[in-house]
Amino acid sequence: MFNSIDQLVETANSEQESIADVMISQEMEVTGRSYLDVYKDMERNLEVMESAVEEGIAGVTSTTGLTGMDAVKMKKYIESGKGLSGDLTLYAIAHAVSTNEVNAAMGKICATPTAGSAGVVPGVLFAMKEKHDVSREDMIKFLFTSGAFGFVVANNASISGAAGGCQAEVGSASAMAAAALVEMAGGTPAMSAHGFAIALKNMLGLVCDPVAGLVEVPCVKRNAAGASNALTAADMALAGIESRIPADEVVEAMYKIGLTMPSALRETGRGGLAATPTGERLKQEIFGGQ
Amino acid sequence: MKYKSVFDIIGPVMVGPSSSHTAGAARIGLLARSLFGGQPDHADIYLYGSFKDTYKGHGTDVALIGGLLGFDTDDDRIITAEEQAREAGLHVQFIKMEEERSHPNTALLHLVKGDERLTVEGISIGGGKIELVSINDYEINVSGNYPTLLIFHKDTFGTIARVTTILGNNEINVSQMNVSRKEKGDIALMTIELDDEISDHIIKEASGAEGVDRVIEMKES
């Protein structure tokens, strides 16, 4: 099993395989399942992601009313043609928001790598579909590539907001998405690793401070930030820009930052935005005296 | 390595809003149910750390109840689990604990049905992945990724050999094994993770082995 990004890139190079295929081979070896079984399972996950994107774009609202209907606003804005960013970024934002609004409304989503950060990877993936007409197979491979990078983060650092803050969730998701974007766009495995490193570096230190402890504020909008950050990092890596700090060392830095983060900023709903006057008021309104 | 499959990262498919606090909680409930051998009549659920602080907002409570009712992470019925529990005759009480545990997302479930009692402690480590860290106060480390045998036995020589011999004779391969005890010479707990599910007659044989007190089978989750 690969346990570092260095190893992952090396294996892809020596086997002359994509990172997606390295991940699939490992999955087959570990579980003893066939290529088709593994592939089909990922296809099912892709279908769940697609349904969630569509559901949110059509409009959902959470039970608390804190989040919802913003994906609809984004869609209308894109259609108006007045967007400042390019369409790819705008779609990534819309789809990321959409997925996380569905999640907040207790709808069905696929965790990537977590539910709170479930909008980032599908956000950029369905934006690519919208703008670049990528094949179904490439979309499924995109998820395996994202998974390979996330696998290293999960085993060497953390993908839990309670353990490592939002950098471990949206940060990891953004870095996974950046790496997969690079591979989808034809970059080398090493370029994927640079894209991953750049994206994660930009998210280091991000705290997990959900208002009322709910996966709503600021989670939904942070997914949009994670998606656009992934596009930024992928474009930089594809331009040949390299991360000065190697990907594995960025993961280690993320882990160590998480360890020193106070518990008030690790998904307890007690610090940061949760502890602002408005955050406290919203909590009071939702839960009353509980 | 804690995470072994790509589907630990891209997955699970689940009802929102949190992989650790909703999906992970449902899985802890499911594993506890599996260990208990079915649905309890009553469950006292102790919540620690972030679970205690945010369980309402994350639906941790309904997910734990859903798990005890046998609902998987992607089962919509989690949303109405409280109602379902009433109908199924499952009474649940949540207790918020101030004490710090080894992991911020910890739930301890005390399950009761008639004379049967079982205490299971689970942690949710991220992305929906969980581990069971204690059962009836015995420290264990079970991921639920593999079929697992939990065998309570007398802490005397030869018992472990008798059990592993039974497995060996039935051509069952052990992937990981651990023994823990509270006091020397008392009842100890063997935790054996296996590569494949095993048939009932092997469990019966192990239950009858000298020194073995009780065998619990946990199927792959």
Domain ranges within chain B, ordered by starting residue: 12-136, 148-218
Residues of B in contact with A151 (CB under 8 A): 3, 6, 8-9
pTM metric for this prediction? 0.89
The correct CATH number of A5-287 out of 1.10.4100, 1.10.3470, 3.30.70, 2.40.30 is 1.10.4100
CA neighbours closer than 13 Å in the CB half-sphere of residue B91: 4
**Looking at the domain B148-218, which fold is it?**
Alpha-Beta Plaits (3.30.70)
- End-to-end Cα distance, chain A: 47
Residue B146: name the closest of B157, B159, B156, B131 by CA.
Answer: B131
- Confirm or reject contact between B29 and chain A (CB < 8 A): no
According to the model, what pLDDT value does residue A289 have? 55
Q: Give helix A35-58 / helix A87-104 axis angle, nearest 10°.
A: 90
User: What does the mean pLDDT of chain A come to?
Assistant: 96
Average pLDDT, chain B: 92
Cβ contact, residue pair A104, B16, below 8 Å: yes
Ranges of each domain in chain A: 5-287
Query: Containing H/E element for B153?
Result: strand B148-154
Q: Which CATH number fits domain B12-136: 3.40.1180.10, 3.30.1330.80, 3.30.390.50, 3.30.1330.90?
A: 3.30.1330.90
Confidence at A218, pLDDT banded by 50, 70, 90 = very high
Question: What are the b/e assignments for B28-56, b being 16+ CB within 10 Å?
Answer: bbbbbbbbbeebbeebbbbbbbbbbbbbb
Report the distance separating Cα B176 and Cα B66, nearest Å: 29
What tens digit of pLDDT does each residue of B55-64 get? 988 899 999 9
| pLDDT at A247 > cutoff 60 | yes
Nearest CA in chain B to A154: B3
**A180-190 pLDDT, tens per residue?**
999 999 999 99
Tens digits of residue pLDDT in B62-71: 999 999 999 9
In this complex, do A111 and B19 lie within 8 Å of one another by their Cβ atoms? yes
pLDDT of residue B220: 59
Min Cα distance B156 → chain A (Å) is 36
Distance between CA atoms of residues B5 and A31, nearest Å: 8
Counted residue by residue, chain A has a size of 290
**Mutation site, A48, A102, A149, A159, interface B, largest B CB count within 10 A:** A159
Whether A26 and chain B come into contact, CB under 8 Å, resolves to: yes
The arithmetic mean of pLDDT across residues B76-104, rounded, is 95
Give CA–CA dist A289/A286, Å, rounded: 9
d(CA B143, CA A244): 37
